[in-house]
Amino acid sequence: MSMSDKSEDPRLSRRSFLHNMARSALAVGVVGLAGTAFGVGRRKEYVWQIDPFKCIQCGRCATNCVLDVSAVKCVHDMEMCGYCKICTGFLRPGYAEVNEGAENQLCPTNAIQRKYIEGPYYEYTIDESLCIGCGQCVKGCGAFGNGSLYLQVRHDRCLNCNECSIARECPSNAFIRLPVDRPYVIKHEGKVEL
């Protein structure tokens, strides 16, 4: 049999065909696997967060979290704070005196700490271990103050459930998904760009 006779033999061409198909399938599989691995590595992960510009301080963050103590905490945006003597997020409306007495405080758990600085200035800080995420201080600060107190999901506590139980109950749809590399909304930086 000569060389030209081998190329016309149907068994060899079928064998060549099957061999070429197997190599092609292997190549497609390797390329597909590499593409999938590349895609998984580039897939963005997201976390739940509260948009402070939509939050209405309804109190559901304190009661609807799957955790015993909510992962939502009050944060204080010091860049916005006026260091007031009379903080409407700290003092209850109709307070008797301007002091730290429990009867004068708006926070039910004493999570806001007030510290004298100088002159008429006080610094207010949040003790997150006491904060239950009720939003009462946020409501007071937003109504009569500058809005430097607001609620945020703290990611060192949050379980990042697929369907956040608080988000499901939020009447203002304030819960949003943010990339894991930028998980917090900083209020003084402005509106959230999604």
pLDDT tens-digit readout, 127-183: 999 999 999 999 999 888 889 999 999 999 999 888 899 999 999 999 999 999 999
What would the two tokens of residue 120 be?
């008429």
Per-residue pLDDT band at 75 (split at 50, 70, 90): very high
Of residues 45, 87, 62, the one with CA closest to residue 178: 45
C-alpha to C-alpha distance for 121 and 104, rounded to whole angstroms: 18
Confidence of residue 41 (pLDDT cuts 50, 70, 90): low
Distance CA 31, CA 47 (A): 31
Per-residue model confidence (pLDDT) at position 86: 86
Q: Phi and psi for 183 in degrees, rounded to 5?
A: -85, -5
Q: Are 75 and 149 in contact (CB under 8 A)?
A: yes
pLDDT in tens, 46-62: 999 999 999 999 999 99
Residue type, 135: G
Tell me how far apart the alpha carbons of residues 173 and 175 are, in angstroms, rounded to a whole number. 6
Say what the pLDDT of residue 100 is. 85
Structure token digits, residue 1: 């049999």
Which candidate, 130, 184, 150, 188, places its Cα nearest to that of 56?
150
What secondary structure letter does DSSP report for 127?
-
> What is this structure's pTM?
0.74
Contact 61/173 with Cβ under 8 angstroms? no
**How far is C-alpha 90 from the geometric centre of its chain's CA atoms?**
25
Q: Give the whole-angstrom CA distance, residue 13 versus residue 50.
A: 65
